[in-house]
Structure 1
Amino acid sequence: MTKFLLAVHVLAAIVAIGPVTVAASMFPPAARRALAEPGDPRAAEALGVLYRICRVYGVVGVVVPAFGFATASGMGVLGSAWLIVSIVLTALAAVVLAALVLPRQSALVDGLADGGGTREATARLAMFTGLFNLLWAAVTVLMIVRPGSTTGA
């Protein structure tokens, strides 16, 4: 059962978190292009799609830690330092996405429709998106390396 849970956990991370990190990374440059060409409906449409991908897959991404907890419980590693650090970083990534990335994306999508939005806003969004991606990269490394793990990997 543990192998099944681990497989679902990894697949969910690839399918749910991957699109969020890619779409979130694509959003700031797309927003800068849309701001440079305010009359281009395709640029605004692209921003809307990227925002929707981030929002929907961000919600779907909740299954990743859910199956992660189930897997860790089955492996008996819930108290391991590497896992606790991973949990904290995952929670931090979720907060960054929900509180810093998605609201700024929404504001830029709305601002573009209203003729607003600034390059400074896209720069801040790019910084928060980079932080989000860095947190997920750290979690991924911890999941692979598992320092101090008793599972032999």
Structure 2
Amino acid sequence: MTKFLLALHLIFAVFAVGPLVHAATTAGRGIRKADAAATASSARMLRIYGIASALVIISGIVLMYRSRSGEYGIQGYSALSVYRGPPHFGEFSQTWIWLSIVLWALAIALVLFVLVPTLNRATKLIAEGETVGALTGRVAGAGGVVGVLFVVIVVLMVYRPGQ
């Protein structure tokens, strides 16, 4: 069951976070081209994938608790021990886990409270024939920060500092 949960966690990361980061980092293109359909599409994708990215967090928490529960017999043995007991994926007290969750929350806040409203505003302004050049910097900057935050999360997940 642990391997299934790990696979599910990685699948959610690839198919929810990947499109989210892509949409966040390319959303400014619709504003630069004054394309209302593109900005509306970007806002919709960011909203959907931002919410779907919670599945990565949920599956990671379930995986962490499942690996601690002694599913394979003896609780507390790591995958690197002599006894091949349950793999231990971490605890909330470890820096790489709580910091990853904080960074994810920050990224999603940027997506849902900065990018999506700005893109919706741009869509409305473009439809009314107004200029939206002033919004390009906000969208490009926030999208870039979201991309960097998810890169940092991946680095934390791979290197697990403090473990």
TM band (smaller chain): 0.7 to 0.9
Task: Percent identity, please.
Answer: 33
- Please tell me whether the aligned partners of residues 37 and 123 of structure 2 are also in contact (alpha carbons under 8 angstroms): no
- What corresponds to 1:29 in structure 2? 29
CA shift, 1:144, in A, is 1.0
For residues 95 and 48 of structure 1, the distance between their equivalents in structure 2, rounded to whole angstroms, comes to 19
- Give me the TM-score of the superposition, normalised by structure 2: 0.80
- Please tell me whether the aligned partners of residues 25 and 140 of structure 2 are also in contact (alpha carbons under 8 angstroms): yes
Alignment of 1:137-148 (within 5 A): 137-148=151-162
Does residue 118 in structure 1 map to residue 129 in structure 2? no
For residues 156 and 137 of structure 2, the distance between their equivalents in structure 1, rounded to whole angstroms, comes to 29
- What corresponds to 1:134 in structure 2? 148
* Structure 2 gaps, min length 5: 69-89
- What corresponds to 2:109 in structure 1? 95
Larger Rg: 2
Higher helix share: 1
* Structure 1 gaps, min length 5: 35-42
- What corresponds to 1:52 in structure 2? 44
- What corresponds to 2:19 in structure 1? 19
Counterpart AA for 2:118 = R
CA shift, 1:112, in A, is 0.9
Q: Indicate which of 41, 57, 64 corresponds to 1:65.
A: 57
**Cα RMSD (Å) of the superposition?**
1.5
For residues 72 and 27 of structure 1, the distance between their equivalents in structure 2, rounded to whole angstroms, comes to 34
Q: Deviations over 1:86-133 (max 9, x none)?
A: 111111111111111111111111111122342121111111111111
For residues 3 and 162 of structure 2, the distance between their equivalents in structure 1, rounded to whole angstroms, comes to 20
CA shift, 1:19, in A, is 0.8
CA shift, 1:18, in A, is 0.9
Does residue 74 in structure 1 map to residue 66 in structure 2? yes
Q: Deviations over 1:44-91 (max 9, x none)?
A: 222222222112121211111111111122334222111111111111
- Number of paired residues? 141
